[in-house]
Amino acid sequence: MAREYMEILNRFRVLIIGRANAGKTTILQRVCNTVENPEIFDGNGEKIDNAVVQGTLKDELVFRSNPGFVFHDSSGFEAGSVQQFDKMKKFVINHAAARVLENRIHAIWYCIPMNEYERTVTAAEKKFFNECDTGHVPVVVLLTKVDALNLAAFEELLDEGLEEEEAERRATEREFKLLEHWKTHIKHELDQCKFPPKFYLPLTKMCEESTDCAALIQCTASALNEEGLERLLLSTQQSSIALCIEYAMKHEVGRILRKGKTEGQRVDIEGFQSDVLTWFPKHSTNIAFDDKSNLLSKDATIQSIAKHGVACLLIIEYCYFLLLNEQSPTKQDVVPLAFKEYKSSGVAATIHQAVEVAVQQHGHDVDELCQTLLQVVLENCM
């Protein structure tokens, strides 16, 4: 299934739902690392002039900064419009199990704005989570505009008799308590519904252009629970290389370690390295390891497999760093440069020792070993 998705699909499709002014467009801009508005296309791929034609739920929103994401917007879903709800429900049902894989939605983000915390769960939310069966498509509730709770916290403290200076000092702590209270309330209400969401995620500082969406990507990936879609999402997003490393470690390094333990230590080096690369942003997957960049013999021990997996991830991470540099090398040169840096920087010796200890302590349990190896990678990035 993982290979099927990677071969057939090249875009990750998300339906974003919520009231008007819930901050939906801002979230999509942060996910795609842009301040520009999306281009809008109809179901036939024809570009739509939004100033002339009112967009619909079927239309595709695509940002030039990351065309690998395709979004559908519910355009201010409210409970009062039965017709609008029925259209959305039909869209979800049709696209959750579309015969054409490219037309399927892979995740749903349901936005609840916290600047309206007194009406967090309205009839709209209850209607959706009681009547809209999304099937295998996970729904993640996003608590948006969380920063508005800071003002609410400040005003609460003033009402309790605190001076402004003291209220300002304690507002952050009170804001956290308010968020936990309302998150618990929302979860309690929606978990009782027939089709409850998979996760609940507060989003902060979305108004800041520098805010990354690693937490949203990670939460969505966890909700997918399907390797092919996880790989598609991770290779589409550009928010966090650390997430790519984490999932490549879990799936590819973990897989080859298990194979080494159960089937002997003969390793397909080229296949392994190619599989690891598929977890990284697509623009970097054109890079390739050559014969000179192999760190592993075909007949290998569990320790050498683990060492190679760690080295492979460190080299790819450094390739990504080099490619983002203004004076970046060509994709043909980037792996040899990263490999040379790995061998000459002293990191290789550190890795050898760290992996030896990790295998001694956790070699009996691949999951534990991979967690330890992940920390080794993250602590030794070049």
Using alpha carbons, select from 58, 57, 54, 35 the residue that is nearest to residue 45.
58
3-state secondary structure of 319: helix
Yes or no: is domain 2-236 CATH 3.40.50.300?
Answer: yes
Q: What is the pLDDT of residue 266?
A: 65
Q: Are 57 and 149 in contact, with CB atoms under 8 Å apart?
A: no
**pLDDT at residue 105, as a whole number:** 94
Choose among 225, 335, 327: nearest CA to 280.
Answer: 335
Specify whether the CB–CB gap between 69 and 31 falls below 8 A.
yes
> For the chain, which residues make up each domain, given as ranges?
2-236, 241-379
Q: Are 260 and 299 in contact (CB under 8 A)?
A: no
> Residue for token digits 């109809």?
42
Supply the pLDDT for residue 70.
96
Q: Name the strand (E) or helix (H) holding 321.
A: helix 302-324
Q: Which of 88, 159, 83 is nearest to 129 (CA)?
A: 88
- What's the confidence (pLDDT) of residue 382? 83
Q: What is the pLDDT of residue 42?
A: 86
Mean of the per-residue pLDDT values of the chain:
87
pLDDT at 352: 92
pLDDT for residue 288: 63
User: For residue range 156-195, what is the model confidence (pLDDT) as tens digits?
Assistant: 999 999 999 999 999 999 999 999 999 999 999 999 999 9
pLDDT in tens, 49-90: 765 556 688 899 999 999 999 999 987 666 557 778 888 889
pLDDT for res 310? 95
For residue 273, give the amino acid letter: Q
pLDDT at 198: 97
Residue 335: its pLDDT value, please?
Answer: 84
Per-residue buried b or exposed e for 333-352, using 16+ beta carbons within 10 Å of the residue's own CB: ebbebbbebbeeeebbeebe
**DSSP classification of residue 330:** P
Name the residue among 138, 140, 370 with its Cα closest to residue 253. 370
CB-neighbour burial class of residue 132 (10 A; exposed 0-12, middle 13-18, buried 19+): buried
The pLDDT averaged over each successive group of 10 residues in the chain (382 residues) is 60 92 93 94 82 73 95 75 83 85 91 89 92 94 95 93 93 95 96 98 92 95 93 93 96 91 68 89 64 56 90 92 74 83 90 95 95 97 88
What's the predicted TM-score (pTM) here? 0.90
